[in-house]
Amino acid sequence: MNKNNATLRAQFGPDFEFGTATSAYQIEGHQFGGAGRTHWDDFAATPGNVVRAEHGAVACDHYHRYAEDFDLIQAAGFDSYRFSTSWARVLPEGRGAVNQEGLDYYDRLVDALLERGLKPNLTLYHWELPSALADLGGWRNRDIAHWFADYAQIIAARLGDRLHAIAPINEPWCVSFLSHFVGAHAPGLRDIRAAVRSMHHVLLAHGTAITALREMGQTNLGGVFNLEWSGPADETPAAQEAALMHDAYYNRFFLEGVFQKSYPNRLMPTFEPHLPKGWQDDFDTIGAPLDWCGINYYTRSLIAPSDGPWPHHHAVAGPLPKTQMGWEIYPEGLYKFLMRLKDEYNITMPIYVTENGMAHEDQIAEGQIADPQRIAYIQDHLDAVARARNEGVNVQGYYVWSLLDNYEWALGYEKRFGLIHVDFDTLERTPKASYHWLKDNLSRPAP
């Protein structure tokens, strides 16, 4: 990457889209502007769920500081910005009365992006479920597909004429499995039936929203999947089998559901008893055609077999250098997933890396933040993208997670993913060296 001092622009060509990403609850400040309560507020208020019980009430105060933040995105030379609207900000009870203040706010955001020449790439659900819908069972309730599609239509009716792209749901695995089986995210359940049903419902909601948006004439609709490479902890057949199972419920369930209208056979003995009645009839909705495919990629897991109930395995620490999250740095996994999308799922539509980046213990010294590790991480992952492109994968863009240090969910404010440092006492923004590096690379030559 960047050999002979060529810029990223030169390497990827003028049409490749460079963006950066955030999400509503992680940056906005949910206490402002009449937003309703969310299951993240409830989850964080319960001891032991979130580091220091931190929540998103103020976060980066992007609610008030968005103009400054968008100036920074523009100055870096990005083409687009991936952000999300909060369901509870627009519909405080999840359904029914609209909070006009919330809708007006997102209207201002979209205009502010367009004024700066940035393409708005919207995600409709990045995890802050209104508490009133959680009370009704949230993702365990099949009705969520229609609640969600109604919300999607309210957003599209107001903003849809100015959006560059829309994805209904960020990371279906996290919304369902991580939140209902692992219990690490809201609502913090650890229950296989809740997990399997929410996995199905999240895809049903995705497809129902896609169909509703198409009916309104919206274009450039996609899906955003989080993929984590599953490797065997050793060469034994048992470890290899364990890694295949991990791959099946983490990655393939969602890709196969949407792109092949089926679920992996390997999961069926465990999943079938928990899937809602008539689940097979939902695939035409789940598999509604998309215009683009987004993947969020960070790391791999090494999987070893273990005793006990399904999935009969656990992850073990790997040997590679790790980020502040403890995640191994493994760019090869991004290359392999991109190849898999082409070779196994026959995906020819545009693919975007909709999130990639790393957390690091960044320190300010005399107003500067040196983060060479982050520059290397981004560069190495872009190399993986370039390799896949050379081998015929239709990757058309890459988004850095994240614009700002922000609320990293159950890990609170401690894990810093931003290109821009945020002091969470003063809310002051300070661009890191990685921001300046991207700026040098992305600026376009004067016409």
Q: How far is the CB of 367 from ligand FCB (least distance, A)?
A: 26
**Beta strand extents in 272-356 (DSSP E only):** 292-305, 313-316, 351-355
CA–CA gap between residue 102 and residue 91 (Å, rounded): 8
CA–CA gap between residue 76 and residue 70 (Å, rounded): 10
Q: Which of 12, 16, 18, 23 binds ligand FCB (CB under 6 A)?
A: 23
* Residue 391 known to be catalytic: no
**Beta strand extents in 33-133 (DSSP E only):** 80-84, 119-125
Contacts with ligand FCB in 125-184 (CB under 6 A)? 170-171, 174
Q: Which is nearer to ligand FCB, 170 or 230 (CB)?
A: 170
Of residues 200, 194, 257, the one with CA closest to residue 223: 257
3-state DSSP percent of the chain in helix, strand and coil, to 5:
45, 15, 35
CB atoms within 10 A of CB 42: 18
Q: How far is the CB of 250 from ligand FCB (least distance, A)?
A: 12
Residue with tokens 């169909």, as numbered in its chain: 211
Of residues 328, 353, 323, 329, the one with CA closest to residue 415: 323
Q: Which is nearer to ligand FCB, 263 or 401 (CB)?
A: 401
Q: How far is the CB of 15 from ligand FCB (least distance, A)?
A: 26
Asked if omega into 309 is within 30° of 0 (cis), the reply is: no
Catalytic annotation, pick one of 28, 328, 355, 408: 355
Contact map string, positions 289 to 318, toward ligand FCB, x by CB under 6 A: -------x----------------------
Q: Which is nearer to ligand FCB, 298 or 435 (CB)?
A: 298
CB atoms within 10 A of CB 423: 11
362 binds ligand FCB (CB under 6 A): no
Q: How far is the CB of 120 from ligand FCB (least distance, A)?
A: 18
**Beta strand extents in 191-348 (DSSP E only):** 222-232, 292-305, 313-316
CA distances from 187 to 29, 130, 287, 445 (A): 20, 11, 27, 48
Stretch in the footprint of ligand FCB (CB under 6 A) among 35-43, 246-254, 277-285, 401-409: 401-409
Report residue 229 CA to chain centroid gap. 16
With the CA atoms of 197, 201, 204 and 210 taken in that order, what torsion angle do they form, in degrees rounded to the nearest 10?
-160
* Residue 171 known to be catalytic: yes
285 binds ligand FCB (CB under 6 A): no
337 binds ligand FCB (CB under 6 A): no
Q: Which is nearer to ligand FCB, 285 or 354 (CB)?
A: 354
Instruction: Say how many residues make up the chain.
Output: 447
Helices and strands of the chain, counted as H and E runs: 18, 11
Task: State the burial class of residue 447 (Cβ atoms within 10 Å of its Cβ: 0-12, 13-18, 19+).
Answer: exposed
323 binds ligand FCB (CB under 6 A): no
Catalytic annotation, pick one of 28, 171, 228, 328: 171
Q: Which is nearer to ligand FCB, 185 or 389 (CB)?
A: 185
Tokens representing 363 are 């320190």
401 binds ligand FCB (CB under 6 A): yes
Contacts with ligand FCB in 218-277 (CB under 6 A)? 226
Q: How far is the CB of 84 from ligand FCB (least distance, A)?
A: 9
Q: Which of 42, 128, 371, 408 binds ligand FCB (CB under 6 A)?
A: 408
Q: Which of 417, 421, 422, 431 binds ligand FCB (CB under 6 A)?
A: 417
Q: How far is the CB of 295 from ligand FCB (least distance, A)?
A: 11
Of residues 367, 387, 366, 383, the one with CA closest to residue 375: 383
Q: Which is nearer to ligand FCB, 226 or 285 (CB)?
A: 226
CB 203 within 8 A of CB 260: no
CB 404 within 8 A of CB 44: no
Q: Which is nearer to ligand FCB, 79 or 355 (CB)?
A: 355
54 binds ligand FCB (CB under 6 A): no
355 binds ligand FCB (CB under 6 A): yes
Q: How far is the CB of 319 from ligand FCB (least distance, A)?
A: 22
Q: How far is the CB of 377 from ligand FCB (least distance, A)?
A: 13
Where along the sequence are the contacts to ligand FCB (CB under 6 A)? Answer: 23, 26, 170-171, 174, 226, 296, 355, 401, 408-409, 417
List the catalytic residues. 171, 355
